[in-house]
Structure 1
Amino acid sequence: MMPHHLPFYVVKPGETDVLMIVMGVFLILAILGVGNVYLRLHSLPERMAHKGQKLQFEIVAVLGLLSLFTHIHIFRIAGLLLALVDLPDFTTPLSSIAGSVERIADNESPPTESPADETAEVQATRAVERASLAVSRSASAPAKEGHGHV
């Protein structure tokens, strides 16, 4: 009943359309593949920032979520740039300095005269002066050792 001059992809009545099944499977795989690539690109800044500090990672993750839900791509660009930049670590040296000053202040003997009417601000100022004096003493001690007799 079918003419012989029809192309190969036209199926006879009652037969299975193999080309449609192959293209359907290809379409499903293509959609899943493109979706996977999109999600990997979306999570790229988070994966890059995961190696850095926790705060940097959290900021990049929030920027990624904002860009995903608002479709404002500047958030994604900002997150990617933030993930590429290594933020300096300020908390570790500052906490080390604070701990050292606290230990120095604890090692100092309390003053012999402490008037009762002295305010907390004056006491804090004196504690800082004692700590700075102790720091200057400890900094100058190794320098004096090098000036021995020859």
Structure 2
Amino acid sequence: MSDSTHPTAIHHLPPFVTAPGQSDVLFNVVVIFMILAIFALGTFYLRLHSLPETMAHKSHKVQYELVAVLGLISLLTHNNIFWIAALILALIDLPDFSSPLSSISRSLGRIAGKVDASTEPAPAEPEPVAGHPGAPADQPPVERKA
């Protein structure tokens, strides 16, 4: 065979055209670029998808769990309305109703005498001040200014 080109072929080939039997450099570069782009877009999508959960992480436990469930439902069903609801719920700070209600219930239980003294938390005792009765002996007495 001769190395001459076909008479109808163009004489100047673009640089991305490779000779037969050689590796295609442009194809290899595009394959590596596409793999990296797919991983980058996947990471971006999952970070964006978990945005409501990271925003609600500092809120109350019930609110955080609701946002997490809505985010999981939106991920599995591909319905964006659940993700939008999770984002709105994460942005709104819900008031804490359980703490005052549990305090009221403990107070009413104490008034009614239905709460054992063993289940109540012990009141914190003040630390003894040096120089007063009950203070440790290794502390010097407290000097008071007149």
Q: TM-score, normalised by structure 2?
A: 0.68
Q: 2:47 aligns with which of 40, 57, 60?
A: 40
Give the CA deviation at 1:101. Answer: 2.0
CA deviations on 1:14-48 (whole Å, 9 max, x unpaired) are 22211111110000000000010001111111111
Q: How many angstroms apart in 1 are the aligned matches of 2:87 and 2:96?
A: 19
Aligned residues: 107
Does residue 84 of structure 1 match 2:94? no
Aligned to 2:78: 71
Q: How many angstroms apart in 2 are the aligned matches of 1:44 and 1:57?
A: 12
Q: Relative contact order (C-alpha < 8 Å, sep 6+): which is higher? A: 1
Does residue 20 of structure 1 match 2:5? no
Stretches of 4+ aligned residues off by more than 6 angstroms: none
Q: How many angstroms apart in 1 are the aligned matches of 2:11 and 2:59?
A: 68
Structure 1: tracts of 5 or more residues without a match: 108-150
Q: In structure 1, the residue corresponding to 2:113 is in which secondary structure? A: helix
Give the CA deviation at 1:53. Answer: 1.1
Aligned to 1:5: 12
Does residue 93 of structure 1 match 2:106? no
Q: In structure 2, the residue corresponding to 1:55 is in which secondary structure? A: helix
Q: 2:109 aligns with which of 102, 111, 115?
A: 102
Give the CA deviation at 1:98. Answer: 1.3
- % identical aligned pairs: 61
CA deviations on 1:4-23 (whole Å, 9 max, x unpaired) are 40100001112221111111
Q: How many angstroms apart in 2 are the aligned matches of 1:48 and 1:56?
A: 11
Higher helix share: 1
Structure 2: tracts of 5 or more residues without a match: 115-146
Q: How many angstroms apart in 1 are the aligned matches of 2:40 and 2:90?
A: 26
Q: Tell me which amino acid in the other structure corresponds to 2:85.
A: A
Aligned to 1:58: 65
Q: TM-score, normalised by structure 1?
A: 0.66
